[in-house]
Amino acid sequence: MEFEMQAVLAILQTGGPALAAIAVLSVLTMAIILWKLWRLALSGAWGTRRANRMVDAALSKTKSTNIAPRGVRARFVAGAVRARSLTDTLAREEITRLAAREIATLRSGLRPLELIVTIAPLIGLLGTVLGMIEAFQALETSGGQADPSVLAGGIWEALLTTAAGMAVAIPAAVALSWFEGIADRVQTDMEDMATRLFTHGTGRP
Residue 84 identity? R
In a domain, 46, yes or no: yes
Nearest to 139 by CA among 160, 158, 164, 163: 158
Residue 28: its pLDDT value, please?
94
Closest CA to 18 of 148, 136, 132: 132
Burial of residue 58 (CB within 10 Å: 0-12, 13-18, 19+) is: buried
In a domain, 204, yes or no: no
Work out how many domains the chain is built from and give that number: 1
Instruction: Output the pLDDT for position 34.
Output: 94
The answer to whether residue 8 sits within a structural domain is no
Its pTM surpasses 0.85: no
Residue by residue, pLDDT tens for the chain (205 residues) are 544 444 444 444 555 678 888 989 999 999 999 999 999 888 888 888 888 888 888 778 655 445 656 788 888 888 888 887 777 788 888 888 888 888 988 888 899 999 999 999 999 888 888 777 776 676 666 665 655 655 555 676 677 888 889 999 999 999 999 999 999 999 898 888 888 888 764 444 4
**What count of other Cβ atoms lies within 10 Å of the Cβ of residue 21?**
20
For 155, the domain range is 19-199
Residues 98 and 203: their CA atoms lie apart, in Å, by: 18
